[in-house]
Amino acid sequence: MVLALELVPNTPHQVLTVTATQPPCFQGSLRVPGDKSISHRALMLGAIASGETRIQGLLLGEDPRSTAACFGAMGATISNLDQDWITVQGQGLGHLQEPTGVLDAGNSGTTLRLMLGLLAAQPDTFFVVTGDNSLRSRPMSRVIKPLSQMGAKIWGRQGNTLAPLAVQGQRLRPAAYSSPIASAQVKSCILLAGLLTEGDTRVSEPSLSRDHSERMLQAFGANLTIDPEACAVTLHGPAQLQGQTVVVPGDISSAAFWLVAAAITPGSDLLIENVGVNPTRIGILDALWQMEADITLENQRLVTGEPVADLRVRHSALKAAQFGGDLIPRMIDEIPVLAVAALFAQGSTVIQDAAELRVKECDRITVMAQQLSKMGGSVTERADGLEIQGGATLHGADLDSHTDHRVAMSLAIAALTASGTTTLHRAEAAAVSYPSFFPTLEKFC
Ligand code: S3P
């Protein structure tokens, strides 16, 4: 396997070329970068808590850098991110400074949506927030609607639904919001707005989304009541937050690329060390187990409130399966690479109830179906998911990431299995969550 990553002259873009020679070999061990969701939350809570927060293992991808830049612009003192331990000197709740410029969340939906809850709830301050082309086309009404019920004043393009957004911070009133979608970004936005709000702010969702905010808010001293039966959380505000130490585990969303790569490549035996295995995030393990993948959890432990384990994956014959319902929010970011695994399973795999994929960094249903089909995969788009025929023999093709990090990495894994040469345009998108992805991939080739 020969990999080459080249800059396209006079553009910020990179092209990955993968040429089949001998098959890759996924053996040995590796670590993946820090969990993106936990990294954002550690920076944000550190910035609004009183005192110092120390963070180890922060993801140094573009998304957390956007969060750090936004909170830095609002007065938080964040040490050099490229160090083992990072310190954040918090300003205390309600003391974010009004920046003179626009807050830019880049490609990061988590940065923009979570931050919006904090900004909307801080009286007497005015903020303008935006993001890149992708983020400016993603729906913001899902957070603006509940915040408006709490009294927030937010304006944006297209009937206050799209960024750039202007926020006039207000003293909010508590609300009980029943979210129509299982979204940790929506849930977290409302809870963060509740921090400065007098009374009980309650949010419920149709099934449980990732609960990193709940865990970290409690660790920082917020008073929460969690009702798992009702998939509901109540924050008793106002809160007092105190800076903490956060050790960020490896991101299971990044580990998923290696889980699939090793599962579909004969001869593989790979140990992925120090991966976060929070139950609300391990839908990808449940899905791969359902497909009869050979994955075991070793050395399970709890690290600053989050379950962590080493994941051992060996090659095995995969079987097709049907996925939907409550499993989907628990593996929403891993579905692009799960689609690649399904191409190598015996039978037809159906993924449904996953319409949320259409409003991620790109429309991941359309884009994955189009790109994998170009390689000879039989992948059919459904309104709310994908249907994938297994037993594929892929050939090289001219692919495009559509500037979506998870699409870029999923297609790179698919390219390893293809005959001939695959060209992947806008491959640089991987740096959003996994800057060292291509050098790591090269080691296995
Ligand atoms: C995230 C929540 C999920 C996920 C995203 C990160 C978070 O989004 O897709 O990558 O950190 O809260 P939704 O809340 O929109 O499902």
Scan for tokens 């991620």, then name that residue: 360
Q: What is the pLDDT of residues 250-300, one digit of tens each?
A: 999 999 999 999 999 999 999 999 999 999 999 999 999 999 999 999 999
Q: In 10 A of CB 9, how many CB atoms?
A: 6
From CA 284, how far away is CA 355, in angstroms rounded?
17
Q: Which pLDDT score is estimated for 112? A: 98
Query: Per-residue pLDDT tens for 167-194?
Result: 999 999 999 999 999 999 999 999 999 9
Protein residue whose Cα sits closest to atom 16 of ligand 1: 183
Residue nearest to atom 9 of ligand 1 (CA): 333
Q: Which atom of ligand 1 is nearest to the CA of 37?
A: 11
Task: Indicate whether residue 222 lines ligand 1 (CB < 6 A).
Answer: no
Residues that are catalytic: 333
Structure token pair of residue 211 = 């609960």
Ligand 1 pocket mutation, candidates 183, 215, 404, criterion most atoms within 8 A of CB: 183
Shortest-distance atom of ligand 1 to CA 182: 16
Q: List beta partners, residue 85.
A: 56
pLDDT at position 137: 98
Nearest CA to ligand 1 atom 13: 183
pLDDT tens, residue by residue, 302-337: 999 999 999 999 999 999 999 999 999 999 999 999
The rounded Å distance from CA 419 to ligand 1 centre is 34
In this prediction, residue 12 carries a pLDDT of 92
Q: Is 110 in the pocket of ligand 1 (CB under 6 A)?
A: yes
What's the CA-to-centroid distance between 184 and ligand 1, angstroms? 6
Res. 1 pLDDT band, cuts 50 70 90: confident
Pocket of ligand 1 contains residue 253 by CB under 6 Å:
no
For ligand 1, whether the C-beta of 401 sits within 6 Å is: no
> How many Cα atoms within 13 Å fall on the side-chain side of residue 434?
26
Q: Is 274's C-beta closer than 6 angstroms to any atom of ligand 1? A: no
Rounded distance between C-alpha atoms, residue 97 and residue 91, angstroms: 9
Q: How far is the CA of 211 from the centre of ligand 1 (A)?
A: 11
Q: What is the pLDDT of residues 338-385, one digit of tens each?
A: 999 999 999 999 999 999 999 999 999 999 999 999 999 999 999 999
Selection from 100, 205, 123, 115 nearest residue 163 by Cα:
115
Domains and CATH numbers, the chain: 2-33+249-443 (3.65.10.10), 36-247 (3.65.10.10)
